[in-house]
Amino acid sequence: MNSLSTSECPPLRLQSRLREGRPFPLGATWDGRGVNFALFSASAKAVELCIFDSTGETELERIFLPEHTDEVWHGYLPDAEAGTVYGYRVHGPYEPDAGHRFNPNKLLLDPYAKGIVGELKWDHALFGYTIGHPDEDLSFDERDSAPFMPKSRVIDPAYTWGLDRKPDIPWDRTVFYEMHVKGFTRLHPDIPEKIRGTYAGLAHPAAVDYLTKLGVTSVELLPIHHFIDDSYLVDKGLKNYWGYNSINFFSPDLRYSATNTLGEFKRTVARLHEAGIEVILDVVYNHTAEGNENGPTLCYKGIDNDSYYKKPKDNPRYYINDTGTGNTLDTTHGRVIQLVTDSLRYWAQDMRVDGFRFDLAPILAREEHGFDESGSFLDSVRQDPVLSRVKLVAEPWDLGPGGYQVGGFSPGWAEWNDKFRDTVRAFWQGEDGKLADMAQRITASADCFNKRGRKPWASVNFITAHDGFNLRDLVSYNEKHNEANGEDNKDGHSDNHSWNCGVEGPTEDAEINALRLRQMRNMLATLLLSQGTPMLLAGDEHGKTQFGNNNAYCQDSEISWLDWAAIDEGNKHLTAFVTRLIALRKRYPILRRSRFFTGELDEEAGVRDVTWYNPSGQEMTPGDWDDSNARCLGVLMDGRAQETGIKRPGQDVTVLLVLNAYHDVVEFKLPSGVDGKSWDLLIDTNQPDLEEGNGFRFNSPYAVTGRSLLLFSLDYTNED
């Protein structure tokens, strides 16, 4: 089916002057005198620009873009200005079997829109085909979708940043804090109610001061690109809380704005920068909210379905679904690479964010032959003078072929390390045979990352994240409890490496509660004292619970929001413990080295950078490593070890880390430390309020409580 004739146009109320304009930049660009509109579509036959009133409710005028240059349709309106509300209707063949789904009856968002007006209202008119038709998606729907669509808005990009400077936190000093913009402040009693749950709420002194005192360096925001609430969630009275359902990659979602302005987000970035805190965005360039062949036509599908999405070559009616969401953006296509990199540069330059975490990142590097760390997209980022200088973090797995790629990304990238997560969880539960694996994980997983000049920071270590149990629930539940999601508890993962410590859920048993708190401290200490880049999940530092829900993606409720009142009710000690751990990490560079430990003897200096000890105070033997029942380990990190590629002794303090996952006390004989007199105890997770200054002699036994962690520093001054 071909469609070049326009759908029925409303009476014209405006008569805009029109010029040819330019094919660049893509999107709607206001130059102070007018607006240039440019839209890529390789297979369209014509493009109509639709102008709306300021509310986006009334369509005022339709204008065919007059020029077509290098597959870009463009025109210039001298009468248009910042604030103009618009959308597109794109004409071309409706041939799903050939990969084309043009339908000018469907109003479309501009992929480059930097402002969005209104919300999507689910209706059958949003679909390019007629729902319920016997021909399914091969049918053609003639209803106008404009009344149900959000619209694009032309923005004025001007903003006075003043003295704002990016913090530029070195990787070795970075501590990520993964958080949700709304959930972080929605219940905060010290933030004015009208701005709670917004960008402005995050910029409030109460929020910024908390982050500063905690000591984190970089907030990692769950997706804030404009996204859609899935229809099946709306029907159940739920929302897509996490936001992994983007429909636009340039506009910050204004559902998080107290003022409904773009400037609010910029002010938030500036306020965090002023406090020395970086802003990292979780970005979703692997798919869009348009779903598969049965999904709606909102943007890319109606503009150029064949270019934007991956499809089986032998049947382009359907979509390759490496994401589990119905579609996959084709980041091997030049114009899609341009879309993504233009978006990234916009956020890095115009919005001044400091880095990105890429959801399901292997998709971005998957060529026809499979995952390729030198694929088109990764190469384009690596050579980009802007993007190569920001923090780039990959979630290195997806559902596609060869989709698990931990350690497989190119130099310059950091990666979420789920091996760290799973091993640390299993170790502290007391699983057999985890000692050797644990040694790898707490030393930045050199088995995965020590290649091609990559550094320990490439391993982003985490115990918990937005997806899965949070820390409190990890030690309180054996099973998921996702009943609130309305899917009969069938959603979410069942294999969580969790342990309820003896009772499922909340309990009044003081002994169990004490064990749970100690286990939380064990895992937090492991996270923040390990080599690599730590990522803390917001709320874990004060024991937030999600009541056993390990898939709270649709819970825009108290299940997900941080319970600040709970801190006042007794969890301040845990927050203070985490604050102390972060401070120790900053104080002792040996805990965040820029070189991988090798355990090899430096013959010139007579120093081994790391030495492993068994509870007898002897160096670990192959037999010790192979003992599946062994659950206690000492790690001596020598501050005299070479710090950089320059051969000279290090100047760091030597530290000793002792981990005991055995259920009972283990007598651990403290080894000797060169040039020191004794060990100063800094952390004992069985004594969270311990004050520093407790000295212990070399070769003396220390009774390590069952399931606890110790950190000592070498005391160079005291005899006792």
Q: Give the active site residues.
A: 359, 395
Q: Which residues of 537-555 are buried (b: 16+ CB within 10 A; e: fewer)?
A: bbbbbbbbbbbbbbbbbbb
Q: Which two tokens stand for residue 432?
A: 């057999």
Q: Which residues of 408-427 are buried (b: 16+ CB within 10 A; e: fewer)?
A: bbbebbbbbbbbbbbbbbbb
For the residues of 389-403, what is the DSSP string, one character each?
A: GSEEEE--B-SSTT-
Distance, CA of 199 to CA of 186 (rounded, Å) = 11
Pairing of strands 59-64, 2-3: unpaired
Please name which of 13, 250, 285 lies closest in space to residue 153, comparing C-alpha atoms.
250
Cα–Cα distance list, 441 to 284, 467, 530 (Å): 28, 21, 8
**In contact, 266 and 199? CB cutoff 8 Å:** no
Distance, CA of 516 to CA of 247 (rounded, Å) = 41
SS3 letters across 612-625: EECCCCCECCHHHH
SS3 letters across 442-495: HECCHHHHCCCCCCHHHEEEECCCCCCCCHHHHCCCCCCCCHHHCCCCCCCCCC
Q: How far, rounded to the nearest angstrom, does the alpha carbon of residue 642 sit from its chain's CA centroid?
A: 34
SS3 letters across 347-366: HHHHCCCCEEEECCHHHHHE
Number of neighbouring beta carbons within 10 Å of residue 559: 18
Q: 602: number of CA atoms within 13 Å, CB side? A: 20
Please name which of 176, 2, 188, 154 lies closest in space to residue 81, comparing C-alpha atoms.
154
Cα–Cα distance list, 376 to 125, 285, 328, 363, 394 (Å): 37, 14, 16, 11, 16
Distance, CA of 360 to CA of 357 (rounded, Å) = 10
Distance, CA of 359 to CA of 373 (rounded, Å) = 16
The secondary element (H helix, E strand) that includes residue 534 is strand 533-537
- Residue keyed to tokens 């000279």: 648
